Structure 1
Amino acid sequence: MMGTSNNHFQTDNPQLQEISQRVRAIARECDGDAKALLDLLRLLECLHREICEEQFQPALPQTRQSLYACLREIELKGGWPYIPRMRMRTLLAHIEALSEEDKDN
């Protein structure tokens, strides 16, 4: 999960491009500030959940054939949107690595 990712979502929608650029700019402004970055990630997760539950799910097709066609389209265009959480093991491994560095210094 850590590190630089080249998985940038591409869209022709100028509003979404603007949002993407602004979120990336905010993340760069928070660089090195774990609390600020965590707040940003929590906001994105909250927005994801809110949009999914309040707008996306009610907009899904109501017939089996239409739903199947929609799901096929989702898979063809990159799959279901997902915001993964950092695993506790990853966080603990990071803490252990920092502890080892402290011992070496």
Structure 2
Amino acid sequence: MDEAVGLDSTKFKADLEAIATLVQRVAQQHQGQSTELLAILRLLEQLHQEIRDSLFQESLPDNRQALYALLRDIETSGGWPYIHRMKLQAFLSYLSDQSAVESPAVESD
């Protein structure tokens, strides 16, 4: 029985690696295309929310010991997954920096 669990774990890790590789490849194919890259980020955020709000919540333990074990695993495995959003201020600052690079100040005589 432990062998079956080990095989499931190996297949699961391989599945995760395949997903990560596919997402990275698609993102690389669209390097420099902000609209397409934004679509990828939106899709990842949507998937995160769908999995969290349905499958994950449905799988939560129904007793204290199992819940404690899950919380301990979350803490030791890197914490709660979070999708960081670029703040509007940082985005505007980036645009300002880019425009300064593209059009340097003209010196007057």
The TM-score range, normalised by the shorter chain, is 0.7 to 0.9
How is 1:26-65 mapped onto 2 (pairs within 5 angstroms)?
26-65=26-65
What is the RMSD of the two structures over their aligned residues, measured on CA atoms? Answer: 1.6
- Can you give the 5+ residue segments of structure 1 that lack an aligned partner in the other structure? 1-10
Q: Which amino acid aligns with 1:84?
A: H
Equivalent in the alignment of 1:18: 18
Where does structure 1 differ by over 2 angstroms across 4 or more consecutive aligned residues? Answer: none
In the TM superposition, residue 54 of structure 1 has moved relative to its aligned partner by: 0.8
TM-score (norm 1): 0.83
Residue equivalent to 1:90 = 90
Map 1:60-71 onto structure 2 (within 5 A).
60-71=60-71
Deviation at 1:23, TM superposition (A): 0.5
Over the matched positions of the two proteins, sequence identity in percent amounts to 41
Please say which structure displays the higher CA radius of gyration.
2
Give the aligned partner of residue 3 of structure 1. none
Report the TM-score, using the length of structure 2 for normalisation: 0.80
Higher relative contact order (CA 8 A, sep 6+): 1
Size of the alignment, in residue pairs? 95
Unaligned runs of 5+ residues in structure 2 are: 1-8
